A and B are shown apart, each in its own frame.
Chain A
Amino acid sequence: MKSKSFIPILLLASFVVAATACNKFVVENVNYSQQIESVLVPDENGDVHDIRHGITFNIEPFRTQEFGEEDKTTQIQEVRLIRNAEGYYFITASQFKNVYVMEPGKSELKLKNKIKVSEERLTAPALNLRDATVQLVKTDTNEILTLNENGLQENKEENQS
């Protein structure tokens, strides 16, 4: 009688073990890094399409973050994005003060970090990938900031100017 009551428990346990085994199928050491930044021009709806890397999103939330709800006039001419090895997107543009670190999810980009890179608004930013880390190059001042998803890193290459 006792052994009979164990059968459903055993079956349930087997099912849980099998399901867990399926969910644990993971490929590790994936390198998501994008070797060169994408420079994307928003369409009339504010959508940007990176055909080569297969991503489309709207820049309006970034515009709101940077300039506030009230500012409806500032236009973003180009959006620059690059992806690091871990798969985070680093997104910025001219006139931004921040670099947005976005984590991809199901049909979404979730803010991982908002890195303030300038007190003044950026005039000519560019994103490079060096040794699997992202660099923000302020091409107007030749200043280089090294970034990761957690924020600013101490520069490996000191600003030379």
Chain B
Amino acid sequence: MKRLLTSTFILFVLALVSGTAAAQTSDYQVKQQFERSYDELKVSIAGALSVDEVDSLVSQISNLKLEFENHEELLDHALYPETFSSSIKELQQEARNTEHKLLIIEGQDEKLTKLSDELASYRSEIAHLNSRTESLRAMITDSEKSERELSDLVQRYRNSMEQRDEFVLNMIDSLFVTYRDMEGSTFTELKEEDRSIKTGDNPLEVILAVIEENIQILKTDDGTLQTEDFLRMYVVQSRFNEVWSQIGDDLAAIYGGNNAPQWKANVEDKLGDWKASASKNMWASIDEYLEQNNVDLGAFDNNESFYQAIDSFISKATDASRDKVVTNENYADFQRFYDFWNTKIKSDWGKFVQEGEVLTMAQISSIDTEMMTWRDEAKPRSFMIPILFGLSLITIVGLIIVLARKN
């Protein structure tokens, strides 16, 4: 028993001694080992892709601290001007920063996933509405039905278009709100991730499809749509353009991958086409409406020329009313334009005229003032008062003569 205890003791001492012997290293090696571990951790923290990964790295930082804290004094000298403690703190701070950034990205990822789902749902709804409007248009084209039934079909077609445009507006607003709320710093991270082109759920594809469908509708219209529809489509296009100008760069960078510049150029090219078609159809439709109502404003094809045309038309009409004896017929000209101005421009189309800046508020207000002047000049004047005045004067003069002769 005693021999067993002695040999156990010797073994214990040997193990202790060999353990101590193994610990004989150079200070320089300690420094190098610390620096190597420090650098590896730093690289891992910078490249961490998930919060779990960062958590694991945080525990590795604690292990590093435990492993080297016996050499703190040595490392304070070796790492000058840094210290052991400041190096550990720096790693911990970097891990916290990365974790914070990753938490934001994960939050944004959830948001983007939700948006992708929304886009998919918009896409299918828009496709459904497209097919409905297309079949209604086909029915209108082939229709041999009565005028009343045809009018009903046209109305249904226009309603369907309106619903579709509302969906497009909602979709573009969702896109805008989601990307606008994202922090600038996380955009950089998102751009670095590979989100490029998964057919079907890429917002850039959805945007391009929507633009192309709109161009198609505008180019193939056979007179079924009315001015109000074109104004609404012009507003949708303006809103689309506005949102793209604010988030287009970021969307292209995130979802365009290596082809981001091409995607951006492609979308902007199509947006240009859409704007040209929407603008052309809208101004032509307003012009046609005015012609049908016997108002000739002359040529216009943009906001400024439209305003100038109205301004010039009212000025000429006011001058003409001032120069000649106004009759009821002249006043009817004023009344016709006044109806167009108040009923259509300011009321029926008012919402789109303002949203699409077909006319600005300042221009509308200026034309309102001119309209008042025209009305004053165009109002037929009554000749009864001067006639009565003349008759009264003759009567008085007659009476004076009669009275004078009597005397």
- The residues of A with any CB-CB pair to B shorter than 8 Å are 35-37, 39, 52, 80, 126-129, 137, 139, 142, 144, 160-161
Residues of B contacting A160 with CB < 8 Å? 17, 20-21, 24
Is A139 a contact partner of B25 (Cβ separation < 8 A)?
yes
Q: Known contacts A36-B77, A142-B22: does B29 contact A126 (CB below 8 Å)?
A: yes
Once the chains bind, are B28 and A37 in contact (CB under 8 Å)? Answer: yes
- Contacts of B31 on A, CB cut-off 8 Å? 36
Interface-central residue, B20, B22, B25, B26, by most chain A CB under 10 Å: B26
Q: Are B24 and A144 in contact (CB under 8 A)?
A: yes
B25 neighbours in A (Cβ, 8 Å) = 126, 137, 139
In the complex where A142-B22, A160-B17 touch, is A126 in contact with B78 (Cβ < 8 A)? Answer: no
Closest to B21 in A: A160
Pick the most buried of A37, A80, A139, A160: most chain B CB atoms within 10 A of its CB.
A160
| Cross-chain pairs A/B with CB under 8 angstroms, 22 sampled | A36-B28, A36-B31, A36-B77, A37-B26, A37-B27, A80-B28, A126-B25, A126-B26, A126-B27, A126-B28, A127-B26, A127-B28, A128-B26, A137-B24, A139-B25, A139-B26, A139-B29, A142-B22, A142-B24, A160-B17, A160-B20, A161-B21
Contact check, A128 vs B27: say whether CB atoms are below 8 A apart.
yes
Smallest CB–CB gap between B83 and chain A, Å?
A: 13
Closest to B73 in A: A35
Contact mask B3-33 → A, CB, 8 Å, 1/0?
0000000000000010011101111110100
Residues of the A chain whose Cβ atoms lie less than 8 Å from the Cβ of B26: 37, 126-128, 137, 139
Determine how close the nearest CB of chain B comes to the CB of A103; give it in whole angstroms: 23
Shortest CB distance A117–B (Å): 15
Name which residue of chain A comes closest to B79, CB basis: A36
Does B74 sit within 8 A of A, measured CB to CB? Answer: yes
**A102 vs B253: C-alpha distance when bound (angstroms):** 63
Other contacts beyond A137-B26, A142-B22: 13, CB < 8 A = A35-B77, A36-B74, A36-B78, A126-B27, A126-B28, A127-B28, A128-B26, A128-B27, A129-B27, A139-B24, A142-B21, A142-B24, A160-B24
Closest Cβ–Cβ distance, residue A83 to chain B (whole Å):
13
Residues of chain A within 8 A of B17, CB atoms compared: 160
Closest Cβ–Cβ distance, residue B85 to chain A (whole Å):
17
User: Known contacts A126-B27, A128-B27: does B74 contact A35 (CB below 8 Å)?
Assistant: yes
CB distance from A141 to the nearest CB of B (A): 9
Complex Cα spacing A52 to B77, Å? 11
